């Protein structure tokens, strides 16, 4: 593609090259030639093997595990593009790491999400394209434009097809109060009621379910969250919905499948029938279990990239989803 003297160039580092390739395929271009490698002492080296002078550059990189390596890969690649006179540099971050450290929970806590935003800006990015930030106000941590895509409409479309003739039997459930707004948007898309699991967190990565707000008795339930990390909150919520609420079947969905620590075993042992994830975080082979279904985000990122490139609005992007 070539518009007003600029061309699109898609690059990728090492976090999710498959998504970058799919984005390039949708755009009808190729993933450009670059090398991102790690020296024996742990330092990261980047080589850009073709000209980017004046180009509209899009670097696809989720800052998922190993988080710090992937952040440094992104920063060094942005710096390389800036020094090579790229026309505009967009960091395409399907998953934004450190997003949960968005405020001071207690005295002397850092706000690491703000620090990462500053690093990306200082490295030379002109804008950021991301999906489902854990806290939407993180957009305000950047002094550059942030295009924030939503995963809920994509997931809702999937479940709308799956339960096309059973929507009267569906209740959308938020696993905690933090996901209520996301679940409400999801429920509006499906035209179903909403319920909330009220829990009290005892310590990090441990939660205790206290109560269920709403009627889920004899219903098929869809739990909606932005990410699944250790899966403790999700599996506890699912258990409570069956044991306390009398739910008939439990499904779940999330944009980001971080799935760290005991997550896979917890999901295997849970009452959840199926979990639908987006491919913002790549799943290793040992995490690809039958209960997990992955949907592709490349068509949506590709459309967003086209709109950025052509200076078109992003606000209408999900109207038809």
Cβ within 8 Å of residue 133, ≥6 positions away:
96, 99, 139, 148
Q: Decide: residue 4, CB within 10 A, 0-12 exposed, 13-18 middle, 19+ buried.
A: exposed
Identify the three-state secondary structure at position 95: coil
Edge to edge, the sheet with strand 6-12 lists 2-3, 6-12, 56-60, 88-93, 127-131, 146-149
> Is 291 noted as a catalytic residue in this protein?
no
Coil, strand or helix: which one is 246? coil
Identify the active-site residue in 9, 199, 219, 220. 199
Instruction: Return all residues near 49 (Cβ < 8 A) that are at least 6 apart.
Output: 32, 33, 34, 35
Alpha helices of 124-197 — where are they, by DSSP H?
Answer: 152-162, 180-190
User: So which residues are the catalytic ones?
Assistant: 199
């Amino acid at each position: 593609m070539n518009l007003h003297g600029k061309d699109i160039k898609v690059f990728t580092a090492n976090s999710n090259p498959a998504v970058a390739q799919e984005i390039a395929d949708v755009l009808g271009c190729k993933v450009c030639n670059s090398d991102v490698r790690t020296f024996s002492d742990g330092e990261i080296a980047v080589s850009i093997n073709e000209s980017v002078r004046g180009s509209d550059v899009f670097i696809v990189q989720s800052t998922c595990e190993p988080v710090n390596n992937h952040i440094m890969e992104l920063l060094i690649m942005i710096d390389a593009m800036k020094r090579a006179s790229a026309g505009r540099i967009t960091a395409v971050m399907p998953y934004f790491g450190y997003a949960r450290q968005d405020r001071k929970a207690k005295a002397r806590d850092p706000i690491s999400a703000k620090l990462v935003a500053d690093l990306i800006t200082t490295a030379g990015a002109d804008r950021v394209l991301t999906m489902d930030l854990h806290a939407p106000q993180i957009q305000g941590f950047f002094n550059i434009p942030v295009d924030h895509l939503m995963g809920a409409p994509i997931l809702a479309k999937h479940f709308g097809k799956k339960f096309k003739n059973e929507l009267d039997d569906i209740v959308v459930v938020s696993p905690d109060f933090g996901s209520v707004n996301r679940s409400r948007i999801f429920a509006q898309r499906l035209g179903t009621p909403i319920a909330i699991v009220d829990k009290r967190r005892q310590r990090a990565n441990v939660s205790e379910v206290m109560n269920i707000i709403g009627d889920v008795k004899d219903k098929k339930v869809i739990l909606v969250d932005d990410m699944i990390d250790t899966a403790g909150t999700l599996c506890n919520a699912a258990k409570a919905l069956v044991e306390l609420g009398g739910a008939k079947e439990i499904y779940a969905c999330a944009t980001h499948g971080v799935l760290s620590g005991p997550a896979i075993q917890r999901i295997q042992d849970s009452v959840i029938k199926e979990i639908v994830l987006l491919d913002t975080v790549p799943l290793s082979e040992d995490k690809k279990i039958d209960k997990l279904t992955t949907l592709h985000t490349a068509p949506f990122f590709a459309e967003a990239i086209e709109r950025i490139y052509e200076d078109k609005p992003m606000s209408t992007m999900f109207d038809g989803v």
